[in-house]
Amino acid sequence: MIYHIIDGMNLRSIDLNLLVILDALLDEAHVSRAASRLGLSQPAASAALQRCRHLFQDDLLERGRGTMRLTPKAVSLRVSLKSLLANVTDLIDPPDVSLADIRQSLRISMADYPALFVIGPLLENLQDTAPGIDLVIQPWHGADAAKAALVDGTTDIAISVFPDTDDDIQREELLTEHYVVAMREGHPIVDKFNLESWLGFPHILVSGRGDQRSPVDAQLAKLGHSRRIGLVVPNFQMLPNLLRMSDMVAMLPSRVVPASGELHTFATPIPVSGFTLHLAWHRRRGHDVGLQHVAKLLTSLLQ
């Protein structure tokens, strides 16, 4: 889209800095935040927005209820604008910078698994290797939303299960995980764990959307069984303490089980498929030294 617009006008009349400001304006959908991000005054950012509106013959940002929103044309410009700026950066200023000198903020989208056990070690590694890189761990809204955010540039790195991706997304396999059943020490079924005893106690289900059923329940139904979901929680981080203080049981990824040994674990009494976790970024960021360094660290921590 943006390439066609530029093709039809005099390139000498276009200020590349204006496109950089437009990129920030579309990311933030807020003039003051965009100005702060770029180190500009608000009047300068407002003036740049007016010039962009004239350039693209569109409002680009329009007022909604107490906020601003992107126009349809602005939405259509976002991906091609980011690709254009990334290509210009590689052409004019190819990456050749020491990790110690990088000053950069990277946004990472991932669920509480694997954030539970990766954020601390990642920060320690960055302190030693690239102390100028700051991280923003974004709220998790699912794999589809994470993939869309990589494309439109609102996320830099995503960790999730990505069975397939667009051609523009670079995906690396991190690990293959399996599920186990966990319960507290001294639980009544520790010495007689089987399918029947497992189904005899309430289960804790992890669901970010508050679902009260999972594929496991469908599988149990096919076998003529059912289970009671006694509690639904939004993340795995809550499970260990809840299991320690109750007779509930839970099925969770094996790496979520605390290494302290305070919980007993068993293989699932019915076959349950595991999952493969991936790390992904947009291919236009392939020469981003800071991003690639963080991606390399995450890969080493999760494999």
What one-character-per-residue DSSP string does 180-242 give?
EEEEETT-TTTTS-SHHHHHTS-EEEE-TT--S--HHHHHHHHTT----EEEEES-GGGHHHH
CA neighbor of 248 nearest in space, from 228, 268, 271, 267: 228
pLDDT at 289 exceeding the cut of 50: yes
Of 29-33, 182-186, 249-253, give the lowest mean pLDDT range: 29-33
In this prediction, residue 8 carries a pLDDT of 47
- Among 49, 65, 92, the domain boundary falls at 92
For residues 46 and 52, what is the distance between their CA atoms, to the nearest angstrom? Answer: 10
Instruction: Please classify residue 60 by burial: count the beta carbons closer than 10 Å to its beta carbon, then call 0-12 exposed, 13-18 middle and 19+ buried.
Output: buried
For residues 118 and 126, what is the distance between their CA atoms, to the nearest angstrom? Answer: 12
In this prediction, residue 239 carries a pLDDT of 93
Asked whether residue 40 falls in the same domain as residue 166, the answer is no
Asked whether residue 184 falls in the same domain as residue 269, the answer is yes
| Whether pTM exceeds 0.85 | no
Asked whether residue 142 falls in the same domain as residue 289, the answer is yes
The enclosing domain of 39 has a CATH number of 1.10.10.10
Asked whether residue 127 falls in the same domain as residue 248, the answer is no
What does the block give as tokens for 164? 């397939």
- Among 57, 92, 127, the domain boundary falls at 92
Number of domains in the chain: 3
For residues 30 and 26, what is the distance between their CA atoms, to the nearest angstrom? Answer: 8
Asked whether residue 220 falls in the same domain as residue 86, the answer is no
Asked whether residue 261 falls in the same domain as residue 205, the answer is yes
The enclosing domain of 189 has a CATH number of 3.40.190.10
Pairing of strands 68-70, 61-63: antiparallel
Asked whether residue 11 falls in the same domain as residue 81, the answer is yes
Asked whether residue 282 falls in the same domain as residue 155, the answer is yes
> With bands split at pLDDT 50, 70 and 90, how would you rate the model's confidence at 279?
very high
In this prediction, residue 110 carries a pLDDT of 92
For residues 153 and 171, what is the distance between their CA atoms, to the nearest angstrom? Answer: 16
Asked whether residue 12 falls in the same domain as residue 48, the answer is yes
> With bands split at pLDDT 50, 70 and 90, how would you rate the model's confidence at 95?
low
In this prediction, residue 94 carries a pLDDT of 57
The parent domain of residue 216 ranges over: 179-273
> With bands split at pLDDT 50, 70 and 90, how would you rate the model's confidence at 37?
confident
Helices 42-56 and 16-28 cross at an angle (nearest 10°) of: 100
Q: How far is CA 148 from the centre of its chain?
A: 10
- Among 92, 114, 138, the domain boundary falls at 92
91: number of Cβ within 10 Å: 8
